Amino acid sequence: METLGYAPYVCLYPGNIFRSLKYWQKYVDEGRLKGVINEDACYSAVVLLVGFLCAFRIDAAYRKFWNACDYSYRFCGDLFNGTCAMLAFTRCSKAPKEDVDQFRHLLVRLVSLLSAVIIGELEVGVARDELADSEETAKTPNFWSLQLIDYEGISQEAQEELLSASNKPEMVFQWVQQIIVGAWNKGIFCVDSPIVGKAFKELADAMHQFHEAQKITEVPFPFPYQMALQLLLISHWIITPIVTVEWTASVPWAAIFSFAGVFALWLFLGLAIELDQPFHATVNSVDMHYLQRLLNHRLLAVIDNIKEPIPSLSQTAKRDVSRRTSNEVSTGGIATVAVSRATVTNGSFGV
């Protein structure tokens, strides 16, 4: 919201100037400004041009914002899908139980760390090179502000290596790949290699989404376009009080017309600048911290239930289910849900 705050201050100049000119024209030197601009066609053309450029600018920022939102949710979804598949492949593993548990817990911790370092890179953007050289960042990296799953459970050597790395997401992703390959060599997976390769691809797709999102943080809006738009806005800002002084005979309304005309254009420019920073920790940015917490909750739910019994068909299940009995099955299902809700409402969990 900081970029939107300057719009009213920018408009104070034309509003006050317009009011002063109108007062001077009406009470001091009547008719002096009548011959400055006889036709409003030139001014209307300038307003149309500036309005078109502002509309294009905010449309580009709007599309950038939603692309950032799309990439963020996609890389979190790909990370979860790939991790969930890898954990499922260990369900019927014949490898030693200790090796299987170690792989599961290490994979969950590294995926949570991978998501955190990706978010940290996106929030920093092009400033990461400057921050990498500072001692403060080396001691407290930016991903520490995010929720992590048992970061201390990772070996101390790996933590020190990560802090000194310049490309943290790529390093953690390489760790994830290496432990998966190591698990395959130990026979931890109970499926064939082509199936494991599909889960591998989902993890790689998450990194692809991250690299796509980096374009948003590192490639700014073209500078020549920004300068041309700024110059036109400043020209409009200067000309507006002089042109609109003939629109009304009221001094207060003169200030209001001038203020509103300039405020609308500068407000949209401020909105575009705000939307241009979708990964910065602001009110109007994508809530990356929420995505990190959401991914952690999903990973913990999977790792907690990996040893639980899987669903099986009950002895009372109807095995002659067909299209003819679909209505009966649906009705029974709805009735069961209704009974369950009534039971919970009454405070009883009995069957």
- Can you give the pLDDT of all 351 residues of the chain as single tens digits? 444 445 555 555 555 555 555 555 555 555 555 554 455 677 778 888 888 888 899 899 999 999 999 999 999 999 999 999 999 999 888 889 999 999 999 999 999 999 999 998 888 876 655 555 555 444 556 788 888 998 999 999 998 899 888 889 999 999 999 999 999 999 999 888 888 888 889 999 999 999 999 988 888 888 888 888 888 888 887 777 777 766 666 667 767 777 777 888 888 888 888 888 888 877 778 889 999 999 999 999 999 888 788 888 888 877 776 655 555 544 444 444 333 433 333 443 333
pLDDT, residue 234, reads 83
Burial per residue of 307-338, b for 16 or more beta-carbon CB atoms within 10 angstroms, e otherwise: eeeeeeeeeeeeeeeeeeeeeeeeeeeeeeee
CB 212 within 8 A of CB 112: no
Residues ≥6 apart with Cβ < 8 Å to 162: 113, 117, 168, 171, 172
pLDDT, residue 79, reads 94
Q: What is the C-alpha to C-alpha distance for residues 338 and 326, in angstroms, rounded to an integer?
A: 18
pLDDT, residue 94, reads 87
pLDDT, residue 331, reads 46
pTM: 0.75
Residues ≥6 apart with Cβ < 8 Å to 142: 120, 123, 124, 131
For the record, the structure tokens of 232 come out as: 């036109």
For the record, the structure tokens of 97 come out as: 């139980």
CB 228 within 8 A of CB 49: no
pLDDT, residue 335, reads 42
For the record, the structure tokens of 245 come out as: 């002084």
